Amino acid sequence: MNEYYDAIIVGTGAAGLYCALNLPKRKKILMLTKQGADLSDSFLAQGGICMLRGEDDYEDYFEDTMRAGHYENNKRAVNLMIRSSNDIIRDLLWRNVDFVRAEDGELAFTREGAHSRPRILFHEDITGKEITQTLLDQVKTKENIEICEYMTMVDIISKDNICGGVIAMNRNNEVFPVYAEHVVLACGGLGGLFHNSTNYPHISGDGIGIAMKHHVELEHLDYIQIHPTTLYSQKPGRRFLISESVRGEGALLYDKNGQRFTNELQPRDLLTQAITIQMEKGGTDFVWEDMRPLGEKTILEHFPNIFQKCMEEGFDPRKEPIPVVPAQHYFMGGISVNLASRTSMHGLYACGETSCNGVHGKNRLASNSLLESLVFARRAADDIIFGETPAFSNSVRLDLKQYEDREIILAGYHRMVKAEIERMKKVS
């Protein structure tokens, strides 16, 4: 790791990787990640990635996204995401992302909750891994991109509201100031702050806390999505997601008496509410999800990863319902950005789950996350290439003594974020 780069990207999920790949070879890029490069939440995305199914689908896709977001979405951001989707998918296909195809060779589409029609491309039930691993493999071939694993951003370097780099720290609490003309925060959401979450525990809102420290504008930190169906387990740790597309393909939800109690295809927040009410009513810790209507062929071919996990937990979804429970899943708020993924601090960008461009509103539509991440990661790259470069003074005097213990520093950021979430809940 050197001291100076053209761009620093914090995070190696889909957003960070795609941003790096869309920057020119002449730019020297450093990518930092808190754990291994393949331990981002992008790898965990199951369902798929949305795309516009022709002009006749535009109004429906737009309305589905707005309705799911309770019409609090940024309409310009929604339009940009949808209009960019075909170009993004073409690029992924060019990069050899392997989406499932129908017997005639055309792309196959599935449907998920709150979608009015099938418009979701997928790779079995590990679409996020297929996309993100493909991007990571390509990044590793680029001589201008350096990936530094197990290196944590503990602060940014700024002066006069201009960002000029980051303070990184390794597992031995060694501190490294690294400077760059542009810094991109693509370090994920804040699931690690919750006891029950589908996210990796190390993805815990560090970037949000650092932004707060530097008075970077934030938005809707209380917009936290609970996924209605995760596999119930008494074991500690991350909750395993039972994809939206399982219900989109026909799975049903039952109460403790084996009776349906709700519409399985309504938006996530409404379905979560219905499940929570049912658990309270029945005095249970979970409800039952029945995959048997899908048929054995669909279960084994479309959802092999989910099938295997259920079997490991002692449930055969071909023969019996599985227990499911809501858990924290996604963060719709974050660092406020414009349509170019610029933050309120010059030279600082944010994309992916770290950012809030308003595309999701108050509740994210299923399978919009990967698309949104890629669209606005490329917007960040475009702005870095063609936008004005802020003049940062390297004369900033750094007091590195304040960075003595990585865990203490991060814990402080996490407290700040939690406090702000609670404050926003009270005023909203």
DSSP notation for 76-143: HHHHHHHHHHHHHHHHHHHTT----B-TTSSBP-B--TT-SS--EE-STT-HHHHHHHHHHHHHTT-T
* pLDDT score for 235: 86
CB of 352 within 8 A of CB of 15? yes
* pLDDT (mean) for 357-378: 97
Both structure tokens of 335: 């660092």
Poorest-pLDDT segment among 192-201, 239-248, 349-358, 385-394? 385-394
Query: Is pLDDT of 396 > 90?
Result: no
Nearest to 16 by CA among 30, 3, 28: 30
The partner residues of 145 in beta bridges, in order of sequence, read 29
- What average pLDDT is seen over the chain? 96
* pLDDT (mean) for 95-124: 95
Query: Is pLDDT of 391 > 90?
Result: no
User: What is the set of active-site residues?
Assistant: 268
Phi-psi region of 361 (alpha: psi -120 to 50; beta: other; left: phi over 0): left
Q: What letters, b where the CB count within 10 A reaches 16 and e where it falls short, cover 327-365?
A: bbbbbbbbbbbbbbbbbbbbbbbbbbbbbbbbbbbbbbb
Burial class (CB in 10 A: 0-12, 13-18, 19+), 20: buried
Max Cα-Cα span within the chain: 69
> What structural domains and CATH numbers belong to the chain?
4-223+332-427 (3.50.50.60), 230-327 (3.90.700.10)
Sheet with 218-219, edge to edge strand ranges: 218-219, 334-336, 355-356
* pLDDT (mean) for 304-322: 97
CA pair distance 397, 401, nearest whole angstrom? 12
Could you report the per-residue pLDDT of 194-221, keeping only the tens digit for each?
A: 988 999 999 999 999 999 999 999 999 9
Q: How much of the chain, in percent, has pLDDT values that exceed 70?
A: 100
